[in-house]
Amino acid sequence: MESMAKLRLMSDYSDVEQDGMPPMTVCGADSTVRTRLDPDQIKSSHHWEVFHAQMGGGKTIPLLKTMLSSSCVNDCNYCVFRSQRDFQRLSFSPDEMAAAFMQLVRKGFVQGLFLSSGITGSGVKSQDRLIDTVEIVRKKYHFGGYIHLKILPGAEQAQIERAMQLSNRVSINLEAPNPERLRFLAPRKDFSGNLLPRIAWMDSIRSAMVPAGGYKGDPSLTTQLVMGAAGENDIEMLTVSELLYSRYHLARVYYSRFNPGVNTPLENLPPAPFIRMVRLYQASFLLRDYGFSMEEMPFMQDGFLPTGIDPKVAWAKDNLSEVPVELNLADREGLLRIPGIGLVGAQKIIAARREKKLTDLKQLTALGISPKRAAPFVLLNGNRPAVQLELPI
């Protein structure tokens, strides 16, 4: 089969949408937003989906996100590529995938690659094929753009090191927050003996690479947790997220909202609610960037975050309503506790108050900070803002 037709079919296999969401696939992460290319734009009988990856600073680039093989020896219960599912499997050789990707780059359809694979033979063999593909893209075609390469369960340390030398980002999916939940989702995967040690390797390899630089600098590390399929609560999700951020320095833990795939053992489970994912991300950023601890998260008795309120606002209502923060005196950490004030906003407030005391909410607006969220929790030169605004959610 011609390469472009295979790419299109690979896209179709993971394109059976339910509830407006793609089904759980893989060994592929949800750090991307997908859009279907306009067929007129493609000028070909085949079309495929392009994903938009956020590069930081608000910039996104179009990415080919695909798999080298849709065959897999594993039977992860949520995955549409599991071995016991009956459908036509497709595989690319490294040369074939590299050439197909470069064809899309030359036509201007994509600027980067996110490559994963089902496990064929063994994790080591499949990882070799992934690395071979990227070697060809980098060395034969001299592609200097963005590459995110998956690390597969079972990959060897030397393979991970090579993958990191060639890629801008690498990731291995932890899938679940702990061994018990992983046994439910993917009985053949080993949380403590296989997946977590590879994350530790990734972190130590990167530490050693930093002085010399990896591919165009420091490759970032990410992982993905399936959210809402294994009965896990938010305490479990955020406990492992905090560990991954603090001990292994991951750039991001992605929460992949469960959506049942047809003909999988979990097909009758309901899809996970979108709002839960939003609250988990909000809480995880508080842990990663804002100096909050797990003890400060506003968990309910069942171990979930309330879905009706932003966790930072919930914390502020309990802790700042009676003791608001003086914007002219608070240090950076104190400012970051205030809803509506983020990393950039805190810096702007510190710079602005060196010039002039903050006495009016309009000064926040002038700094690009919406006063609506902050007002109930702040003092301006000793005074509560004159206009008490509704508590935001």
64 binds ligand SF4 (CB under 6 A): no
Question: 236 near 59, Cβ under 8 Å?
Answer: no
Out of 53, 64, 76, 286, which residue is the one contacting ligand SF4 (CB under 6 A)? 76
27 binds ligand SF4 (CB under 6 A): yes
**Whole-angstrom distance, CA of residue 1 vs CA of residue 39:** 21
Q: CB of residue 196 vs ligand SF4: minimum separation in angstroms? A: 16
- The residue (of 26 and 227) whose beta carbon lies closer to ligand SF4 is 26
Count, residues near ligand SF4 per rule CB under 6 A: 11
| Region 79-108 residues binding ligand SF4, contact defined as CB under 6 A | 79, 81-82
- Binding piece for ligand SF4, criterion CB under 6 A, among 73-81, 139-147, 256-264, 364-372: 73-81
Q: What pairing do the DSSP bridges indicate for beta strands 49-56 and 59-67?
A: antiparallel
- The residue (of 39 and 187) whose beta carbon lies closer to ligand SF4 is 187
Q: How far apart are the first and last CA of the chain?
A: 52
Burial of 388 (0-12, 13-18, 19+ CB in 10 A): exposed
65 binds ligand SF4 (CB under 6 A): no
Q: CB of residue 118 vs ligand SF4: minimum separation in angstroms? A: 4
- The residue (of 79 and 240) whose beta carbon lies closer to ligand SF4 is 79
Out of 29, 119, 160, 287, which residue is the one contacting ligand SF4 (CB under 6 A)? 119
| Region 173-192 residues binding ligand SF4, contact defined as CB under 6 A | 186
- The residue (of 118 and 298) whose beta carbon lies closer to ligand SF4 is 118
Q: CB of residue 70 vs ligand SF4: minimum separation in angstroms? A: 8
Question: 18 near 263, Cβ under 8 Å?
Answer: no
Q: CB of residue 81 vs ligand SF4: minimum separation in angstroms? A: 4
- The residue (of 119 and 378) whose beta carbon lies closer to ligand SF4 is 119
Q: CB of residue 34 vs ligand SF4: minimum separation in angstroms? A: 18
Q: CB of residue 39 vs ligand SF4: minimum separation in angstroms? A: 29
Q: CB of residue 123 vs ligand SF4: minimum separation in angstroms? A: 9
- The residue (of 76 and 90) whose beta carbon lies closer to ligand SF4 is 76
- Binding piece for ligand SF4, criterion CB under 6 A, among 1-9, 57-65, 78-86, 244-252: 78-86
Residues that bind ligand SF4 (CB under 6 A): 26-27, 72, 74, 76, 79, 81-82, 118-119, 186
